[in-house]
Structure 1
């Protein structure tokens, strides 16, 4: 790998790169504090398309902001997801939201959780927001991918282009979301590289067995240096043959994610991972098109070749195949027509018009943050004194359980679960003492959510925040037309819907040794019985049942030592303690 860079400070690199984008397209602006590129106001109302991810994949996604493509893009640091707060601010403050917002994100845990948390936060505030997760990579098969599923790579840009073009035509949020999902469902991609890449600002490790040898190529390498499926010594024809086989061989049950026949219309995208010369990419494209025709009897109806999604200066390329499918939206709205529609973004092939340059002096979007952040009231009522008392009992029980939770997490994880839960619980207790009482259930819950989002980090913090935001959304959906006391039945319906929403962002299910082993039985028991005491006991039983359970998700998967068989999952145990405390508080 090359470790030489013109800009070695990664923070300065990301900030200056983002700052450069409005210099090449005056229709967009940069919110540098939150690393957001967004369209300036003044265009026709439409569904807003938001995407993003770690920096280092340019021109994805910041340079795809513009007419006919994205409305906003949120950037993280190099190869790291942006925070949920960055995404939330983009949704609420930087894009038009009157016709709804669609978030398109690649299937990486950090991206799905943080973008998902922001989506649920926006929904809880009453906005119409959908999210499509793109997983198009065939480089890792079903057996190795497991519950995480396929990674998102360069085929994602085709989903964004189709969705952006349809939104620009004035389609509804449902139409745009459904078409984006249809496009994602008909994509398959695979990448290969001759070398790993070096991230500016990081130390260069000694070259070892992990680095590719001079003559080796890694097939299926991810866009963050993640390992692929195999390494081999081969020439370009042999490499392309293997890559196309992984995408198209119907007999390969582990990798065949999409059935494509010679009768199907196919769009081919050959993507430069950043370090391949334009000359060489032309030769690669010619080889791919030739083999598709010769070995698979496939003649693409559209061929796109260029730099769309990189891995810094990655010395590699990826192949994406999109099976053209009927959008059922009538004339002018086929996948091919949407892909061919004009897009005015500096990272896409269409040029910026003179008219847009002349409009470049228009002001950036001004927002009254207090108004934008205001939570709409609901008609669900509770006894604020009782709610505070019950919650205080539950939180104190959770705080008292911290030493046990920390001990369990020291054995099966990195030891921070108990401290994180305690920090969140103590912060909520402080909020309860300082915040003005409210009998509105949704506003009461939103006060808790704001504390959780700020004080609890990591995967568990994101899961709690997503679940609570979805719970607020579920309660709002079940709010009566006039003020009424909240009932166990209403809680049950809202909890079930929030559990279902959580499943969009994490594959965790009962039996995976996570906090879901306590949460799922609590929700389902409460929904059936309306009795919190029996529901809390069900959560306790679920947490105890994780003893001896082999983990399928989380850091426990990688723990190689002994002792995990004798302790429960710390997250499940902590949640059960909280729920038992709530039950105890109600009995007082």
Structure 2
């Protein structure tokens, strides 16, 4: 089954062009309607008063080539079927419809179909009396001493140079010579972890797991070699070594273009960019273009690196503004900046103090949770990942250790609640540790303001509900805490004990959890099983039953 979105295979390219025309931000594109089988997109404001710049080829490389049409770059693009050169007639019609007295430069990539079809169209146009020249981009340096290197993403840099010269009013031969000079100092290399998909066809699984293909084309062709995938940095180093060896001079300055072949995530492209800009090329890099999807191979999970050696005129050309959707403005290579700041933290300090009654309460709560560890783990194994008891136990043991060492402010309830919150945040794993830390911290803050135990506990619960997102009925510890605190405030502590028990029991009848890990389980897994967090609360209240 195809892994691509499309309606009909035969209309895919037409449909895609329509989408580009609808969304083009400069609103400067138009399709030439000359024949249903011919797809030509041009500038809608073109006056034929300067040299026209035409490029194109098979589709599937979007945004190339249509995305680079606009003032300062291409005049028109001729679109073939996916990975297939447009016909001679299509190219000829494009040349005829955009070429004026100043002539036309055709830029093609070094593939046989493109060379032949575009070449024959140029010859026919010349026979019609039009002034037409053609240059062939062969920037792929993956095969040493290759007599016919492929044209890949570096073609876009040639578009920019030629388009700039044309916009300045240069004559055809000046533009051709400038484009050819740029081709001579442009190099690219690509690498991919997977090949690309094709509409209506099964996904190509040619590249083995743990391998990458180096030096592949932009049509899903096999790479020059298969290499082991180690780290991104090592893959980039392999590519950069070949690029650096192809520089014309040891002190050459370059613009580097970082191209997403279609299927690499933004996160990965950012990493790739870092590794490229910190590689052995860094002393040569003057401008950076990308990372961006500039010339893709549909959904290929890979990237390419291109460079253009700079001189004064090429630097000026790359920096000149354009009205083309897909062009990414170059930026100067910059040094990373960071601002050193001291780590922000709350310096929570206190003096330990004694209070026998409070020590007893802390000891009972802690020992109760430690004793319930196996029971809570068992309940959690039925509805979660089996660690609720261990998590509560870890917090309880830490508090007991501090109590035993006489390191708690037992005679100051507000400070004590805050101190317990700090301890739980440190030793309790998962969300429950953070939630209980919020509970105790907020309770301590409220107690310092109001001096009431129950009001403080309710305030802590309110903040825990606010940040945690759970509420009564969601099958969590709140189902025992909430009714217990309400009963304590309106009736008595004895009533609170019973309310905690009933609240915990109610969770066994809740067949849909709306928070925590249990929310991922079906009703059959929850039916008849108490929520372990609510049981922990029940056991704590029960421990004080006279």
| TM-score bracket for this pair, using the shorter chain length | 0.5 to 0.7
Which residue of 61, 76, 97 corresponds with 2:100? 97
1:21 is displaced (CA, Å) by 2.4
Partner residue, 2:160: 161
**Per-residue deviation, residues 210-267 of structure 1 (Å, max 9, x unmatched):** x112211111111011122211112211111111112223xxxxxx4x4242x22211
Partner of 1:13, secondary structure, is helix
CA contact (8 A) 1:106 1:151 kept: yes
Q: What is the rounded CA distance, in whole Å, between the counterparts of 1:243 and 1:8 in structure 2?
A: 38
CA deviation string 1:490-530 (max 9, x = no partner): xxxxxxxxxxxxxxxxxxxxxxxxxxxxxxxxxxxxxxxxx
Q: Is the radius of gyration larger for structure 1 or structure 2? A: 2
| Inter-partner Cα distance in structure 1 for 2:20 and 2:287 | 32
Partner residue of 2:72 out of 68, 71, 76: 68
Note the 1:492-507 alignment, pairs <5 A: none
Aligned to 1:299: 285
User: What pairs with 1:270-309 in structure 2 (closer than 5 Å)?
Assistant: 270-293=258-281, 297-309=283-295
Q: Which residue of 2 aligns with 1:110?
A: 113
1:325 Cα deviation after fit: 3.6
- What TM-score results when the alignment is normalised by the length of structure 1? 0.53
Distance 1:49 1:227, change over 3 A: same
- How has the CA–CA distance of structure 1 residues 347 and 293 changed in structure 2, closer, same or farther, with 3 Å as cutoff? closer
Matched with 2:222 is 227
- Decide whether the 8 Å contact of 1:137 with 1:189 is kept in 2: yes
Q: Distance in 1 between matches of 2:271 and 2:181?
A: 31
Q: Relative to 1, partners in 2 of residues 1:224 and 1:31: Cα closer, same or farther, differing over 3 Å?
A: same
Once the two structures are TM-superposed, the CA of residue 299 in structure 1 deviates from its matched residue by: 3.4
Q: CA deviation at 1:317?
A: 0.3
| Aligned position for 1:339 | 318
Name the CA distance, whole Å, in 2 between partners of 1:346 and 1:339: 15
- CA contact 1:194–1:218 (8 Å) conserved in 2: yes
Answer whether contact 2:190 2:304 (CA < 8 A) is retained. Answer: yes
> Could you tell me how far apart the structure 1 residues matched to 2:7 and 2:104 are?
36
> CA–CA distance in 2 between the matches of 1:134 and 1:83?
19
Q: Aligned in 2, Cα 1:132/1:293: closer, same or farther, shift over 3 Å?
A: closer
How many residue pairs align between the two structures? 323
Matches of 1:273 and 1:89 in 2, distance apart? 30
CA distance in 2 between partners of 1:275 and 1:302 (Å): 21
* 2:84 aligned residue: 80
Higher relative contact order structure (alpha carbons within 8 Å, sequence separation ≥ 6): 1
Tell me: CA distance 1:133–1:46, structure 2 relative to 1, closer, same or farther (3 Å).
same
Q: Mind listing any 5+ residue stretches in structure 1 that lack a counterpart? A: 250-255, 327-333, 351-588
Q: CA deviation at 1:298?
A: 2.5
Query: 2:443 maps to which residue?
Result: none
RMSD: 1.8
Q: Matches of 2:140 and 2:225 in 1, distance apart?
A: 14
What is aligned with 1:362?
Answer: none
Q: Secondary structure at the match of 2:212?
A: strand
Contact 1:8 1:200 in 2 (8 A): no
Return the TM-score normalized by structure 2.
0.57
1:31 aligns with 2:32: yes
1:246 to 217, 242, 245: 242
Query: Per the alignment, do residues 135 and 218 of structure 1 end up closer, same or farther by CA in structure 2, a change over 3 Å counting?
Result: same
Whether 1:322 aligns to 2:290 is: no
Note the C-alpha offset of 1:43. 4.4
Q: Quick check: 2:165–2:317 contact (8 Å CA) kept in 1?
A: yes
Residue 311 (1) aligns with residue 297 (2): yes
Using the TM superposition, give the Cα deviation of residue 15 of structure 1 relative to its aligned residue in structure 2, in angstroms: 0.6
Say if 1:140 and 1:228, in contact at 8 Å, map to a contact too.
no
Alignment match of 1:237 (pick from 230, 233, 238): 233
Paired residues of 1:132 and 1:181 also in contact (CA < 8 A): yes
**Structure 2 residue ranges without an equivalent (≥5):** 330-546
Q: Where do 1:367-516 residues align within 5 Å?
A: none
Q: How far off its partner does 1:127 sit?
A: 1.0
The alpha-carbon deviation at position 140 of structure 1 amounts to: 2.2
**Alpha-carbon distance between aligned partners in 1 of 2:270 and 2:157, rounded to the nearest angstrom:** 20
Deviation at 1:278, TM superposition (A): 2.0
Q: Is the 8 A contact 1:273 1:309 kept in 2?
A: yes
Cα-to-partner distance string for 1:328-358 (whole Å, 9 max, x where unaligned): xxxxxx10111111111122247xxxxxxxx
Mapping for residues 134-283 of structure 1, pairs under 5 Å = 134-142=137-145, 145-146=146-147, 149-204=148-203, 207=205, 211-233=206-228, 234-249=230-245, 256=246, 258-261=247-250, 263-283=251-271
Question: In 2, distance between residues paired with 1:38 and 1:337?
Answer: 25
CA contact (8 A) 1:248 1:260 kept: no
Deviation of the 1:293 alpha carbon: 4.8
Q: CA deviation at 1:42?
A: 5.1
CA contact (8 A) 1:10 1:78 kept: no
